[in-house]
């Protein structure tokens, strides 16, 4: 079954404690992306990756890091989380063959930073 898997689904952490949200896809997609979803603001792109070792900033990259060492994995790293990073996070993957019009999303990670 084609899927994007994020872990964990829920996370409560304290300010400043480094955390990583993992994302893995099994569709051999070149393109992966991270979004955060906030009420009234919709989905905003944090970082995206066109392929292994190729990443670029989206609209809201401050406070986040990513890496793409393998095609299937695209972890999101918060080095020093702050309360304003409390949000619902989604990882997505897609193929350039569809011009990235069909993105497959994970189930989401609800992060609370206290």
Partner 1 sequence: QKEVEQDPGPLSVPEGAIVSLNCTYSNSAFQYFMWYRQYSRKGPELLMYTYSSGNKEDGRFTAQVDKSSKYISLFIRDSQPSDSATYLCANTGGFKTIFGAGTRLFVKA
Q: Which residues here bind partner 1, judged by CB under 8 A?
A: 4, 31, 33, 35, 40-45, 48, 50, 56, 58-59, 90, 92, 96, 99-103, 105-108
Say if residues 111 and 87 touch (Cβ distance below 8 Å).
yes
Round to whole Å and give the CA distance between 32 and 51: 8
Output the smallest distance, CB 65 to partner 1, in A: 19
Output the smallest distance, CB 17 to partner 1, in A: 26
Output the smallest distance, CB 49 to partner 1, in A: 9
Half-sphere exposure of 7 (CA within 13 A, CB side): 4
């Amino acid at each position: 079954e084609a899927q994007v898997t994020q872990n964990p689904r829920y996370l409560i952490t304290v300010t400043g404690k480094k955390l990583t949200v993992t994302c893995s896809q099994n569709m051999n997609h070149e393109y992966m992306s991270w979004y955060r979803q906030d009420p009234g603001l919709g989905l905003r792109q944090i970082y995206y990756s066109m392929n292994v070792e190729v990443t670029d900033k989206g609209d809201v990259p401050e406070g986040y890091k990513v890496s793409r060492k393998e095609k299937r994995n695209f972890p999101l790293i918060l080095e020093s989380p702050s309360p304003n990073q409390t949000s619902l996070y989604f990882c997505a993957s897609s193929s350039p063959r569809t011009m990235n019009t069909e993105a497959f999303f994970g189930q989401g990670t609800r992060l609370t930073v206290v």
